[in-house]
Chain A
């Protein structure tokens, strides 16, 4: 599997991850190598033994927990001051960010 630098550019855009041209070149090579290694997963037979057309269930969580509920009640939470403590830009006691819907 070869990841071209065009593909690296596209993925970096999807990931909102600015890369330098040097990084693009390096990652094209390094990620290609990792992906080639990962290709070996294709060798694994994930079909069910007695039903070759269907696959084993995928695992996304190993605890067996599901739909863990809690009471719907109010409690303590961060103060506005604490929540803004690490914000690079604050305006009127709120996070300041670039406008999304600008005229």
Chain B
């Protein structure tokens, strides 16, 4: 029998339904691969030896009842959740099982995976490079075929950026599309759970499974996403694609730029109409984000008091401490108006930029990350340099819109992801554009050699 782990989620389901192999054989194939490769890449913190279900890898910031959940933090090193996140309950109903919990930057704070208290995850394409973050283990597990699909969380790019750096598909749904109940919050007005998969069709299916209203998350939209997979039948002829000039300026690596421009040319060949758009306030996105997000963190992380669960506060890692400090400072008396209130107004302007741009186009396309995966340690002593790695992903979280990363080539032998941003609640168009591109290219067939 061929290697079952190479199949996409949708192919796997088809094969199981037509009894080409059993769930037991499927789980065994993945578990064997995990035992061979996980010691090299450290993508799983916890492994479940199931014999049933479609094996999914779940970011360790998402609660799984009775399965240890640490969020990559020493403070939760022995935490056993008494309940599961809504997304987990929804997946279990679909016949999915949790094959393991994946490594991440501590409490999802980071862009390289290096902030995990349990050692960094390594990039399957080159073990000396970071996998991106914070959903580092989920991205690496999908890239190395250690699961049928994974879930990540995206507060400022934590699904799209590691997906880009590991050469897989990652979808950040619109804020409010998927219930956040049971995900360990970073910044509640930004956090969103989403699929990390081997194909765009898989991302569409997983979003269908996990979306929909939840009485435990008042911000969650009641309507379920129902993807019609229109991408292949109708193509993207006449689709208006906006190119923001601000996403092609200083700081964008020339190798990445070349790959992205070729991808845009491909979209044009497929019948899309390219229009120039402007997002003039996006240059202020990182500055606004590092006021708003740490402010929400300083409030959310007051819950870690070492009384009801978890260790004491000196056990937080360096980045978590930095963000609690930054947020406490910007909310403190005398600074609130200068920092938090100002940043919340800039948030309005960034949101309006997207609204104006989407009057001229259906989706916006550009790079996910300004560079390919970098060396371990390259940015760990310079927090600001690490923050700037998310310069193209953060604006979508500020505005609450959806964004997809889809593999579009290689620079310096490392994967590059194409970012496709869509209007709020319009995952459909984003997925259609992504799928049309994916099917017209061969990038999805490239696999890391480990």
Residues of A within 8 A of B (CB): 3, 7-8, 11-12, 14-19, 23, 27, 30-31, 33-35, 37-38, 40-44, 46, 55-63, 65, 68, 70, 78, 82-83, 85-89, 95-97
Contacts and interface: CB of A to CB of B under 8 A. Distances in A.
Contacts of B82: 78, 82-83, 85-86
Interface of B: 78-80, 82-83, 175-176, 189, 215, 218-219, 221, 281, 284, 286-288, 290-291, 298, 302, 306-311, 313-314, 316, 318, 321-322, 324-326, 328-329, 332, 339, 341-349, 351, 383-384, 387, 399-400, 424
Nearest to B307: A97
B319 to A, nearest CB: 10
Contacts of B324: 15, 17
A85 B345 CA distance: 42
A90 B83 CA distance: 20
Contacts of B343: 41
B325 A41 contact: no
Contacts of A62: 175-176, 189, 351, 399-400, 424
B322 A87 contact: no
A59 B291 contact: no
A31 B308 contact: no
A34 to B, nearest CB: 6
A31 B326 CA distance: 7
Nearest to B327: A15
B326 A58 contact: no
Contacts of A43: 284
Contacts of B290: 34, 37-38
A3 B322 CA distance: 13
**Residue from A16, A18, A31, A62 with most neighbouring chain B CB atoms (10 Å):** A62
Given A11-B325, A34-B290, A62-B189, A46 B346 contact: yes
B328 to A, nearest CB: 4
A65 B218 contact: yes
Contacts of A27: 321-322, 325
Given A27-B321, A61-B189, A14 B328 contact: yes
Secondary structure at chain B's binding surface: helix, strand, loop or mixed? helix
Contacts of B286: 37
A65 B217 CA distance: 11
Contact of B302 (A16, A46, A57, A83): A16
Contact of A55 (B175, B316, B345): B345
Given A41-B339, A60-B344, A87-B308, 8 more contacts: A33-B384, A34-B383, A38-B290, A44-B346, A46-B345, A62-B424, A82-B82, A85-B82
Contacts of A58: 341, 344-345, 347-348
Contact of A41 (B83, B189, B342, B424): B342
Contacts of A56: 345, 348-349
> Most chain-A CB neighbours within 10 Å: which of B343, B345, B347?
B345
A11 B326 CA distance: 9
Given A38-B287, A40-B287, A15 B342 contact: no
A59 B287 contact: no
B349 A57 contact: no
A17 B291 contact: no
Nearest to B177: A63
B79 A86 contact: yes
A39 B112 CA distance: 26
Contact of B383 (A15, A16, A30, A86): A30
A11 B328 contact: yes
Contacts of B345: 46, 55-59
B287 A41 contact: yes
B301 to A, nearest CB: 9
Contact of A15 (B308, B325, B341): B325
Nearest to B219: A63
B308 A65 contact: no
A18 B347 contact: no
